[in-house]
Structure 1
Amino acid sequence: MKIWKNTGTLDAFVPELSQQFVDPADAEVAVLGSRPVDLDSMPRLRGIFKCGVGTDNVPFEECARRGIKVGLPSEGTASVIFEETASFAVSLIFRMLYSNVGDLDAWRKETRVAAQKKNVLVVGLGNIGSRVVKKLEPTVNVIGYDLAMSPLDVLEELIPKADVVTLHIPLEEGTRGFWGTKHLGLMKRGAALVNTARGPVVDEDALYEALGQHRIRAAFDVFWKEPYEGKLREMYPDPFYMTPHVASTCVDFLEGLAEDYRAFVKQF
């Protein structure tokens, strides 16, 4: 089986993936991360295996037309992804809430408001967002919002109340650049934006401008192009904290994904 890949996610768990790497024109199976794939360059392709639950870069319609099978993480593996990503998002949220607690050299302590009085707005209440809500509820005041359940004017009323906004929405045509100048402008001074969904749901230029004005802060695990080398890197680690798309990257997820991959390629 001739394999093409645009991710090294499984290399340590499926040794043959680190040894096999063919040109797109010869590929029979493509292993995808979060970057796009050009099916026109793969005339022999028979299958696509996606290393994650985000499917915005999987061309389902074209695959169906060409008879290309698509493999996704199994239900058990997906559950691990949802749970671990939610936990990682919560860790970033608390990093933002406790980002300014004092100065070690001066031994100065900053007075802060108790976490239980902080408002965290969870935008998107699907598999991951709903878990984030449950994890946060014992500690902070959680406000949930979902595009499918409430109109946008409700969201616009909630944004100014939030100390942290955390995004858990899919990347679709209607959500590309969704969190732009308007929504960033509604965030109150000192608030933080957390994104573990997809980079392009946020307008990169608008975020750069908002951070440059020192109005808000942000913590992102996902970016517009990965590996990310864009202009926001100059603002790391404050006001723009970054992690290299690792929210779901735990051993349990990778072991499950490796089993799912092996089961998928057996079809061919």
Structure 2
Amino acid sequence: MPRRPQALFAMSAETLPSVYPPDLLDRIRARVDIDPTLTAEDFGDPRVRRVLAEAEILLTGWGCPYIDAPVLEAAPRLRAVLHAAGSVKGILAPGWWERGLIVSSAATANALPVAEYTLGMILLAGKDAFAARERYRARRTFTTGEIQPGIGNFGRRVGIIGASRIGRRLIELLRPFDFQVMLADPHVGEDEAAALGVRPLPLDQLMGAGDIVTVHAPALPETRHMIGRHELALMPDGAVLINTARGSLVDTDALAEEVRTGRISAVLDVTDPEPLPADSPLFGLPNVFLTPHLAGSQGNEVRRLGLSAADELERLLTGRPLVHQVDPTAFERIA
């Protein structure tokens, strides 16, 4: 029987059972030599160092310690990093491609629940469900059969900022609905936008045209506070801003000033800072709907991340191309 490659889990031991439940763990152990009781949460741990010296594959996830040049030097046989989470930028130092490493990410799998969550928020925001809930709770009554003007999802203009994995998945999910979908992304031209079925617009025009604007750009130095006072002031009265990407993309102080006027509303699953200070005015505003960073994979959705990594492992070991391999040339631009 041929020797199985040596592998090592590098992630939080607490999250490992959720990412790799017993059936997925059995699949992995049938392919590689891996100790599920040894999880690298510190590459300086002597037990981890011994396995790292022989490891050909790292199965990483949330809580993985940073993989820098000294770690790579301690892993001379390492040939692949399979990440059962989203971005690898937070765990892997630039230059890994010079080692010839194959790197895969479950970012596509993690994009699905974020896009689903955002779709739900768009539909609820279009029906003014958040404000209606507040009114109903305050009044404890309503008029049956009353048609409320100014709400509804027929022909609603939805602006998407960023054709990221999540942004593109959201575009797909929006297709069955009667929305007018616009996209602001400097890397997407007219032809690609037409293929996606969206109307391309510069950011300022999209902010001024969208009834609902949802943010899906990567968090990069150049995108920090890309939605600030100027952009928020362009939004039409009654518009809604949704952020399920990264809090740093929106200037929190500027947003707080704008929503305090009641002119626009916000749905925020991410903030800057995160969590918000306990005295943040955003907690008490009826036109701000806050959730604690739960749009990404949670509960039974986490299994999808492990499944993605397990599938990639089998492709790697059978000589097939990986489906979710990270492109080194795009490493600096990804989230």
Q: Aligned residue for 2:266?
A: 218
Q: Aligned residue for 1:182?
A: 230
Q: Aligned residue for 1:108?
A: 142
1:87 and 2:116 aligned: yes
**TM-score in terms of structure 1 length:** 0.74
Match of 2:219 among 171, 174, 187: 171
Trace 1:51-130 onto structure 2 (pairs within 5 A).
Answer: 51-65=84-98, 70-73=103-106, 78=108, 80-97=109-126, 98=128, 99-101=130-132, 102-104=135-137, 105-108=139-142, 111-113=148-150, 114-130=152-168
**CA 1:210–1:49 in structure 2 vs 1: closer, same or farther (change >3 Å)?**
farther
Question: Is residue 121–residue 267 contact of structure 2 (8 Å, CA) maintained in 1?
Answer: yes
Question: Is residue 7–residue 32 contact of structure 1 (8 Å, CA) maintained in 2?
Answer: no
Q: Aligned residue for 2:42?
A: 23
Q: For residues 94 and 34 of structure 1, what CA distance do their matches in structure 2 show? A: 34
Q: Displacement of 1:90 after TM fit?
A: 0.8
Q: Aligned residue for 2:11?
A: 5
**TM-score in terms of structure 2 length:** 0.61
Question: Is residue 168–residue 197 contact of structure 1 (8 Å, CA) maintained in 2?
Answer: yes
Amino acid at match of 1:218: A
Alignment length (residue pairs): 263
Question: Is residue 184–residue 201 contact of structure 2 (8 Å, CA) maintained in 1?
Answer: no
Q: Displacement of 1:121 after TM fit?
A: 1.0
Q: Displacement of 1:261 after TM fit?
A: 4.2
Q: Displacement of 1:236 after TM fit?
A: 3.1
Question: Is residue 120–residue 140 contact of structure 1 (8 Å, CA) maintained in 2?
Answer: yes
Q: For residues 262 and 269 of structure 2, what CA distance do their matches in structure 1 show? A: 20
Q: Displacement of 1:30 after TM fit?
A: 7.7
Question: Is residue 9–residue 39 contact of structure 2 (8 Å, CA) maintained in 1?
Answer: yes
List per-residue Cα deviations over 1:49-94 (Å, max 9, x = no partner).
5343434435452433567663422xxx82x434332221111122
Question: Is residue 232–residue 240 contact of structure 1 (8 Å, CA) maintained in 2?
Answer: no
Q: Displacement of 1:24 after TM fit?
A: 4.2
Q: For residues 216 and 34 of structure 1, what CA distance do their matches in structure 2 show? A: 37
Identity, in percent, stands at 22
Gaps of 5+ in 2: 1-6, 22-34, 53-57, 191-199, 317-335
Q: Displacement of 1:223 after TM fit?
A: 3.8
Q: Displacement of 1:230 after TM fit?
A: 3.6
**CA 1:230–1:36 in structure 2 vs 1: closer, same or farther (change >3 Å)?**
farther
**CA 1:132–1:38 in structure 2 vs 1: closer, same or farther (change >3 Å)?**
same
For the pair shown, which has the larger CA radius of gyration, 1 or 2?
2
Match of 1:241 among 289, 302, 314: 289
Question: Is residue 221–residue 245 contact of structure 1 (8 Å, CA) maintained in 2?
Answer: yes
Question: Is residue 11–residue 17 contact of structure 1 (8 Å, CA) maintained in 2?
Answer: no
Question: Is residue 5–residue 21 contact of structure 1 (8 Å, CA) maintained in 2?
Answer: yes
**CA 1:135–1:25 in structure 2 vs 1: closer, same or farther (change >3 Å)?**
same
Amino acid at match of 2:149: R
Question: Is residue 41–residue 63 contact of structure 2 (8 Å, CA) maintained in 1?
Answer: no
Q: Aligned residue for 2:20?
A: 14
Secondary structure class of the residue paired with 1:57: coil
**CA 1:147–1:13 in structure 2 vs 1: closer, same or farther (change >3 Å)?**
same
> CA RMSD for the aligned pairs?
4.0
List per-residue Cα deviations over 1:26-64 (Å, max 9, x = no partner).
354583449994737857465755343434435452433
Q: Aligned residue for 2:181?
A: 142
